[in-house]
Structure 1
Amino acid sequence: MRAPPAGGAVTVAPSPGLSTEYPFVLPRGYVDSSGTVHREGVMRLATARDEIAPQADARVRANPSYLTVLLLERTVVSLGTLHEVGGYVIEGLFASDLAFLQDLYRRINQDGHTSTEVDCPACGHDFTIDVAGDAPGES
């Protein structure tokens, strides 16, 4: 498991083998009960079981939007110094961090990577950025 460097962007370099874990930095971060902010984490690729098992959960049947919480709970393997990333952590994320993780989940499980092509608005130059890297946040 590779952790992102403190305070810096993370670039997921292509490797000869299959990448199954992707480091990320949340835009804002999860604030625990002691006030500690946790921003750096790792998400793993989802398995078929990860996507199928939550369908039987009563919370998902009652509210299909809860599927997101269960998928992220299963695939976010670390976040800061937390011992466990349970549903209560995912539910306690700021909306911008939840949206970030949803997008990261989609990118790594559908696209297979965390990079995207962008154009510079000033000069029009094309370049690649890693969307799992550090982003400025507000507290």
Structure 2
Amino acid sequence: MSLQTEWPFTLPKGYVDDQGTLHRTGTMRLACARDEIEPLRDPRVKENESYATVIVLARVVTELGTVPRVTTKTIESLFVSDFSYLQDLYRIINFQDTSVLDSLEPGAPFPTSSVEVG
């Protein structure tokens, strides 16, 4: 038995880069403790605690279309529905049963009950 550490995803709308290219598919990896600790040292988080989510997602989204490197600027530029989708995916793969992902169509919103942390 092996541990799955990466999950492919398809964003509901997609990220549009500076050249106008749409990127919808990507990969997210499991987070490690450092992914949640390091953002707390960032001055942007000291100004606004919510920014930690942007930093964490920039660390764990390892691929997004042909974007060479996913950065906080990339995450900041996502449409709200895509940002929410990645937050839900993060919660599912790090804190919940990932079997819910097998039944979803690419880009489909996650069922509300699947993202509640119990």
TM range (shorter): 0.7 to 0.9
Secondary structure of the corresponding residue to residue 103 of structure 2: strand
Q: Deviations over 1:19-55 (max 9, x none)?
A: 0000000000000111110000000000000011111
Tell me which residue corresponds to 2:13. 28
Tell me which residue corresponds to 1:120. none
Higher helix residue share: 2
Instruction: Supply the RMSD in Å over aligned alpha carbons.
Output: 1.7
Divergent runs of 4+, >2 A: 133-136
Secondary structure of the corresponding residue to residue 115 of structure 1: helix
Q: Does 1:134 align with 2:107?
A: yes
TM-score normalised by the chain length of structure 2: 0.86
Q: Deviations over 1:74-112 (max 9, x none)?
A: 000000001000011000000000000000000000014
Which of 97, 100, 105 pairs up with 1:115? 100
TM-score normalised by the chain length of structure 1: 0.74
Q: Does 1:69 align with 2:54?
A: yes
Counterpart CA distance in 1 for 2:99 and 2:10 is: 12
Query: Structure 1: which 5+ runs fail to align?
Result: 1-15, 117-127
Distance 1:84 1:29, change over 3 A: same
Tell me which residue corresponds to 1:38. 23
Q: Percent identity?
A: 52
Shift of 1:134: 3.5
Higher strand residue share: 1
